[in-house]
Amino acid sequence: MKTALSILALVLLTGCPPDNRPPEEDPPDVVRHELQVTYHATTSLNNATADRILADATQILQIDHGEDDVACAVRLARQGNVTEFDAGDGSIDSRAEFEAMMQLPGDIKLVDEINWCGRLIPNVAGCARPGGSVVVTPTLLYRGLLWAHEYGHTKGLRHRDNGEAVMYIALGLSRRKLNRAECEAFRR
Ligand SMILES: [Zn+2]
């Protein structure tokens, strides 16, 4: 009886992959940025959604979309659980409110509305500055692109006047490309 059970266990072990395998690893040349994601109480976000957005952002950065694009070996990943904060009113309407947001812990901060980014500018999708953190709104479309673009700003990247560039000033389906210098910034 004991032998039969051992054989059964052996069959089960060899027949199924272990169910607690770590997630598939990136190749060793991929630079991994672990980002703490947080949202204001006027919005909502969960780990799964944040992971999906970060995976979309990573795919845009990693895939070579043709001429003048590099496959950038970088991954944006979530650090710890997505958390909620309630400082401020969830709307960025002045320099003071933006500065207050920069002081809060976290790398990516989801707020309800942004109406100030360097100047008064109504309803921008996201805002970030070199060395700072990313502030984004819950846009329906292009969230991966938005997070990647704003993260690029935190790495010192400026807008690029090419409608196919990730760093183009406006969101859109065609913004997929990073040049070599931009990729280097993303990998820092
Ligand atoms: Zn921008």
pLDDT digits (tens, 9 = 90+) for 78-91: 999 999 999 999 99
CA of 154 to the centre of ligand 1 (A): 10
Q: Could you give the count of Cα atoms lying within 13 Å of 154 in the half-sphere of its Cβ?
A: 25
CA of 100 to the centre of ligand 1 (A): 20
Phi, psi of 31, deg, nearest 5: -80, 125
CA of 42 to the centre of ligand 1 (A): 24
CA of 101 to the centre of ligand 1 (A): 17
For the record, the structure tokens of 87 come out as: 């400082």
DSSP code, position 138: -
- For residues 145 and 151, give the distance between their C-alpha atoms in angstroms, rounded to a whole number: 10
State whether residue 104 is helix, strand or coil.
coil
Q: What percent of the chain has pLDDT over 70?
A: 87
CATH of domain 30-187: 3.40.390.10
* Amino acid at the residue 33: H
pLDDT of residue 24: 58
CA of 151 to the centre of ligand 1 (A): 9
Instruction: Taking residues 14-22, report their average pLDDT.
Output: 45
Is residue 53 within 8 Å of residue 144, measured between CB atoms?
yes
Instruction: Taking residues 2-21, report their average pLDDT.
Output: 44
pLDDT digits (tens, 9 = 90+) for 80-136: 999 999 999 999 999 999 999 999 999 999 999 999 999 999 999 999 999 999 999
CA of 128 to the centre of ligand 1 (A): 8
pLDDT of residue 83: 98
pLDDT of residue 19: 45
pLDDT of residue 7: 43
Instruction: Taking residues 31-55, report their average pLDDT.
Output: 98
Instruction: Taking residues 7-23, report their average pLDDT.
Output: 45
Which pLDDT band holds residue 23 (cuts at 50, 70, 90)?
A: low
CA of 117 to the centre of ligand 1 (A): 10
Residue (of 72, 52, 54) closest to 62 by Cα position: 72
For the record, the structure tokens of 157 come out as: 């990247």
- For residues 82 and 44, give the distance between their C-alpha atoms in angstroms, rounded to a whole number: 10
CA of 150 to the centre of ligand 1 (A): 6
CA of 109 to the centre of ligand 1 (A): 16
Which pLDDT band holds residue 26 (cuts at 50, 70, 90)?
A: confident
Average pLDDT, the chain: 90
CA of 35 to the centre of ligand 1 (A): 19
- For residues 155 and 178, give the distance between their C-alpha atoms in angstroms, rounded to a whole number: 13
Q: State the residue for tokens 């995976």.
A: 55
Distances (CA, A) of 78 to 94, 115, 137, 155: 29, 27, 18, 18
- The secondary structure of 43-65, three-state, reads CCCCHHHHHHHHHHHHHHHHCCC
CA of 158 to the centre of ligand 1 (A): 7
The domain ranges of the chain are 30-187
Instruction: Taking residues 25-46, report their average pLDDT.
Output: 95
